[in-house]
Amino acid sequence: MEKLMPNFCRIVRAKIYFTRTRKIIPLQDIIMLQGEVNYTLLHLLGGRKVLIPRTLKLFESVLENYDFLRTHRAFIINCEHLKSIDNEGLSMRMTNNLLATVSRRRKEKVNERLHFQV
């Protein structure tokens, strides 16, 4: 079965283009994506936030070939903006000092992807 890309956005030259709102956001400006029911809150550099009316699951499929990692059902992080991981490996501090949690079931996959042994 062929996987269809969502038509609400596309990525060209390391920038994400949102078709309806005509917003253009460079991928390196995205620090973290946070799921809020049927909305996704994008945390950007400079403390800016953008609310997009799409689920986190759609963003996961769009960003799977880039340096983004799903750590929890409510979080996708940009690995380039990862600052530190706590001792138990259950939360991550990003460059803007926000915390993203890591679910127990995704902990091993996160450690494997980031090459950490927690």
What are all long-range contacts of 47-51, with beta carbons under 8 Å and residues at least 24 apart? 47/96, 50/23, 50/25
Q: What is the pLDDT at residue 118?
A: 41
Mean pLDDT, consecutive 10-residue segments, the chain of 118 residues? 60 87 91 94 94 91 90 94 82 91 88 68
What tokens does 43 get? 């945390």
pLDDT of residue 7: 77
pLDDT at 2: 37
> What's residue 116's pLDDT?
57
The pLDDT, as a whole number, for residue 104 is 87
Domains in the chain (CATH in brackets) are: 30-114 (2.40.50.1020)
- Reference 34, options 80, 77, 64; nearest CA is 77
| Stated pTM of the model | 0.84
